Chains A and B, each alone.
Chain A
Amino acid sequence: MMPSGNKQFIISRLSGGRRIREALALVSGRLVLILINALALLIFCGLLWKAAPLFGIISVSDWLFSSSWHPMKNQFGLFPFIVGTVSVTLLAMIIAVPVCLGAAIYLSEYAGRRFREIARWLIDILAGIPSVIYGLCGVLVIVPFVAFLGELMGSTTTGYSLLAGGLVLAVMVIPFIISISVEVLRMVPDPLRECALALGATRWETVKYVVLKKAKRGLLAAVVLGFARAFGETMAVLMVVGNVAQVPVSLFDPAYPLPALIANNYGEVMSIPLYDAALMSAALILMLVVGAFSLTAHYTLLKIGETVDS
């Protein structure tokens, strides 16, 4: 029954194969991790490399702050597009944030466990809906609605506008922000709530004075992540926002965000090399802004995790 023979011998003989497997796994593990980090670097450098020729002919301030976009004349002022992106994103966030906070607080603080689980699942589904479908619904429902609204307000609009873009984008980021917010709120330890309730606070007072205070940073991170999400969103916005290269002055004006600019023109512009570079520089802006925002958010999120843990 018992393994017989010289144990020492058995072990040293068998561990040869095991040691090789172990070493192989260690090496390949390290390789894939290097690969991932290299990939990120490659994306960044690739965009930088393709965008670089642009700065041979225009200054950084022209690039960011000039409104003249005339690719044929080598004028590549991205200002209208930057304003377009920022305004459509801000608009979406203004609409989305109150809704998200309300829904997330309700789910975390008022709803029962079962209801919360089901609601989160539905919200997950909403978050997983492809952006072209949001765009399609935007075209079918929101654009006519905005056109109608514009008529009421006495402005002539096709409906394809900043407002339509903001509304569609808001609906898109809402589930994303709620998901993170509920998670953040659930991280606040229950004893804290019980403490406040035991002192005679109402539910809402508990939320206002205890839970929100504790979860402030995490909720901010959720909003920032939502902003980053919305900032780079392409298809849904592209389909409803009108895409006219001008600085919008009213909610019913069309706008032209950076991602839409890239999506509409890329691939056809190989004939004008600087045009290519200009679009790449737009992609670079997107990557940098979104990267910076998600970095900030992850740091604040991480910190919230630590304070709640301890």
Chain B
Amino acid sequence: MAHIQIQQLRVSYGSLPVLNDINLEIPDRQIVAIIGPSGCGKTTLLKSMNRLLDLNEDVSVTGSILLDGVNIYDPAMDVTCLRKRVGFLPQRPYPLPMSIFENVAFGPRIHGLSVLSAGGGGKQAEKSLVEHYLRLAGLWDEVKDRLDEPAAKLSIGQQQRLALARVLSIEPEVILADEPTSALDPVSAKLVETQFKLLKENYTIILVTHILRQARRLADYIVFLYMGDLIEHKPAAVFFSAPDDEKTKAYISGEIS
């Protein structure tokens, strides 16, 4: 069964329709890349999947998104629980205004995960949790001696991997990543990409990207959006070798961007 099913999703900001009638199934434990020109609604689609759109007052969402068969827009759904299951990695990695350690410990603390892990909790359990996630994000070696420093002092590339560690720390099933490498230099971008490839063993990863080559390198499945419409979606190999739609062909060949 597909991990996430999007059915007749429509989103508008005030009177401006941004997503029109999206129907999409997202497979489990793969990397799905959402591509499309700027302003076509990629970020909006991504944020609709963990209801971050709710923070915007004049946004309206209709249709449904099923996570493991349960509609996340059901009024009975607890958004904090939903967001714990569906993590979000932003375009610009804002660190939280606290130390590196606390950045990673924040999620487990609020969700009470550190108490439950390693049988009993306490400072030691929290420390090992933080280490675990920093290692998963490929950041541990760089920060292990400066965990108490403000996270704002890290470089942008390190901040993005810290954000990754933070997402992982809440033990999500799905990771939504909004152009996670766009603010990074090529070396840091490579590091993040490598982590993603490792992570897809255990997580469903939905990745928004501007970079077609990145989508080619990483994605198992491609979703192409254009001006709020879902134009085409299929496994990556087929998508790039045999696109159906004229717009897709134009986009892949770089005629529209």
Tell me if chains A and B make direct contact, with any CB pair below 8 A.
yes
Query: Residues of A with Cβ closer than 8 Å to B?
Result: 1-5, 7, 10-12, 14-15, 18
B233 within 8 A of A: no
Which of B78, B85, B129, B132 contacts A15, CB < 8 Å? B78
Shortest 7 CB-CB distances between A and B: which pairs? A14-B112, A3-B117, A11-B81, A3-B113, A3-B116, A1-B132, A3-B171
Q: Which of B161-195 contact A (CB under 8 A)?
A: 171
CB distance from B129 to the nearest CB of A (A): 8
Query: 24 A-B contacts, Cβ less than 8 Å apart?
Result: A1-B117, A1-B118, A1-B128, A1-B129, A1-B132, A2-B171, A3-B113, A3-B116, A3-B117, A4-B117, A7-B85, A7-B171, A10-B112, A10-B113, A10-B116, A11-B78, A11-B111, A12-B81, A14-B112, A15-B78, A15-B80, A15-B81, A18-B80, A18-B110
A12 to B84, CA, bound (A): 12
Residue of A nearest to B85 (CB): A7
CB distance from A242 to the nearest CB of B (A): 55
Residues of chain B with a CB closer than 8 A to A12's CB? 81
Does B111 lie within 8 Å of A14, measured CB to CB?
A: yes
Which of B116, B118, B128, B132 contacts A5, CB < 8 Å? B116
CB distance from B157 to the nearest CB of A (A): 26
Does B117 lie within 8 Å of A2, measured CB to CB?
A: yes
A2 to B132, CA, bound (A): 9
New contact pairs (18) apart from A2-B171, A11-B84, A15-B81, CB-CB < 8 Å: A1-B117, A1-B128, A1-B129, A1-B132, A2-B117, A3-B113, A3-B116, A3-B117, A7-B85, A7-B171, A10-B112, A10-B113, A10-B116, A11-B78, A14-B111, A14-B112, A15-B80, A18-B80
Residues of chain A with a CB closer than 8 A to B80's CB? 15, 18
Residues of chain B with a CB closer than 8 A to A11's CB? 78, 81, 84, 111
Residues of chain A with a CB closer than 8 A to B132's CB? 1
Q: Is the contact region of chain B dominated by helix, strand, or loop, or is it mixed? A: helix
CB distance from B166 to the nearest CB of A (A): 16
CB distance from B121 to the nearest CB of A (A): 11
Residues of chain A with a CB closer than 8 A to B128's CB? 1
Residue of A nearest to B116 (CB): A3
CB distance from B116 to the nearest CB of A (A): 5
A169 to B243, CA, bound (A): 77
Residues of chain A with a CB closer than 8 A to B171's CB? 2-3, 7
A234 to B78, CA, bound (A): 55
Residue of B nearest to A22 (CB): B80
Residues of chain A with a CB closer than 8 A to B129's CB? 1
A11 to B108, CA, bound (A): 12
CB distance from A12 to the nearest CB of B (A): 8
Q: Which of B56-90 contact A (CB under 8 A)?
A: 78, 80-81, 84-85
A4 to B117, CA, bound (A): 7
Residues of chain B with a CB closer than 8 A to A10's CB? 112-113, 116
A12 to B77, CA, bound (A): 11
Residues of chain B with a CB closer than 8 A to A15's CB? 78, 80-81
A2 to B110, CA, bound (A): 16
Residue of B nearest to A3 (CB): B117
Residue of B nearest to A10 (CB): B116
A4 to B118, CA, bound (A): 9
Residues of chain B with a CB closer than 8 A to A5's CB? 116
CB distance from B241 to the nearest CB of A (A): 38
Residues of chain A with a CB closer than 8 A to B81's CB? 11-12, 15
Residue of A nearest to B82 (CB): A11
CB distance from B65 to the nearest CB of A (A): 18
A1 to B118, CA, bound (A): 6
A15 to B85, CA, bound (A): 14
Residues of chain B with a CB closer than 8 A to A4's CB? 117
CB distance from B169 to the nearest CB of A (A): 11
A10 to B108, CA, bound (A): 12
CB distance from A26 to the nearest CB of B (A): 14
